[in-house]
Structure 1
Amino acid sequence: MRILLVLAHPLKDSFAASTAEAVRRKLTENGHTVDLLDLYRENFDPRLSVSERNRYFEPDYDPSEAEPYISRLRAADGLVLVFPQWWFNFPAILKGFFDRVFAPGVAFENDPKGGRIQPRLGNIHLFWAFTTTGSPWWVVNFYMGNPVKRLLKRGIAAFCAKGLDFKLVSLHDMDRIDDTRRRAHLLRVERLVDRI
């Protein structure tokens, strides 16, 4: 399987970077092809341009401003995201990745009559995310309603592809845990990735 592994964290020595490396290593060991897209290291511009927005609902939308990222998404069989949750949401650079790369004609097709959009990512069969939060589990799930999971699963994944293997794995209380729990989480990540 060819996996597009997207990392969204500004620090090279972050826990997210360690998680992405554990995912990359385990996938490679198991014979998968991994395309690591480190959004910060590749200087991805998350801003939807004026011309992109002006053309967004036109028939035959031209997504060429977001190349080569679109080509990398189209070449993948699976998508694995690694990112921290900030303010119960995606880092801005990852949100911009969705805005610009998951574009009309690429990830979905607009219904010209204003109905439901049609999924276009038939090549993507696996959509996993590994994330961290500074908040405890109960705050994310009970108080906030797990907004990142809802956005990924019910929004992006459901509207862009069908029959996906979806998984979201979160490490909560990131700001208060010790190295033992961090190492245990990385082992959990490796065990899960080993099943792909």
Structure 2
Amino acid sequence: MHTLIIYCHPYQHSFNHAILNAVQQNLAQSKLTYQTIDLHADNFSPVYSIEELKLYHSGQTTDPLVEKYLKLLKTAHTVIIISPVWWNSIPGMLKGFIDKVMKEGENLSHTVTRLGVQGELKNIKKCYLLTTSSSPTFYIRFFNGNGIKKIFLNQTLKQLGFQGRSWTNFGMISTTTAENRKRYLNSLQLKRFD
């Protein structure tokens, strides 16, 4: 089992990219095996084609990246998702990753039963969601509906079988100080991701 990082930000000089570097350094120093999915660097298309959508219920795909990503998810013990919060939610690229990669069927990501979705990714014992936002974290949590936690973390990922889910947001990214950014990156280099 290994750690899988899912990274979703298009700009290599973003603070999200600095978070990615800090997490990768942490895992390397901890001698943990990891792989990184960089959705933008991979040129992943989050959009369903008609051909792809026709295959949904059979668990098949026309996109080789979908097969690759699902195999990585099925062997991961820990998943670390790094993403900005855009318009109170995850970016469309990350939503498209969930839409396309999470295939219905036994030995895939989930099955649908009379009682609802049954997650098949129970091999994922820990899931860390690391986000950044322009808004303060308290605003997202208490005044904006807390959609990241309530829907993405505690509904979508839970339904897929992800266990041990936690969310950390670095808020006010546009106005914070360089010292606050450095302190946060240092904390990520010391955090245990196992």
TM-score after normalising by structure 2: 0.90
In the alignment, the residues of structure 2 paired with residue 133 and residue 14 of structure 1 have an alpha-carbon distance, to the nearest angstrom, of 12
- Residue 133 of structure 1 aligns with which residue? 133
Q: How does 1:179-190 map to 2 (within 5 A)?
A: 179-190=178-189
Secondary structure of 1:32's counterpart equals coil
Shift in alpha-carbon separation, 1:122–1:63, aligned structure 2, 3 A: farther
Q: Pairwise mapping of residues 26-175 of structure 1 onto structure 2 (< 5 A)?
A: 26-56=26-56, 58=57, 60-63=58-61, 65=63, 66-105=66-105, 106-111=108-113, 113=114, 115-161=115-161, 164-175=163-174
Aligned equivalents of 1:144, 1:70: Cα separation in 2: 32
CA distance in 1, matches of 2:135, 2:149: 15
In the alignment of these two chains, the number of paired residues is 190
In structure 1, how many angstroms separate the alpha carbons of the residues matched to 2:42 and 2:149?
26
* Aligned residues with identical type, % of pairs: 25
- What are the ranges of 5 or more consecutive residues in structure 2 without an aligned counterpart? none
**Matches of 2:155 and 2:48, distance apart in 1:** 19
CA distance in 2, matches of 1:149, 1:185: 20
Q: Within 2, Cα distance between the matches of 1:90 and 1:122? A: 23
Q: Deviations over 1:42-79 (max 9, x none)?
A: 111111222332333x3x42246322221222221111
CA contact (8 A) 2:60 2:103 kept: no
| Larger CA deviation: 69-78 vs 169-178 | 69-78
Secondary structure of the residue that 1:168 maps to in structure 2? Answer: strand
| Aligned CA-pair RMSD | 1.6
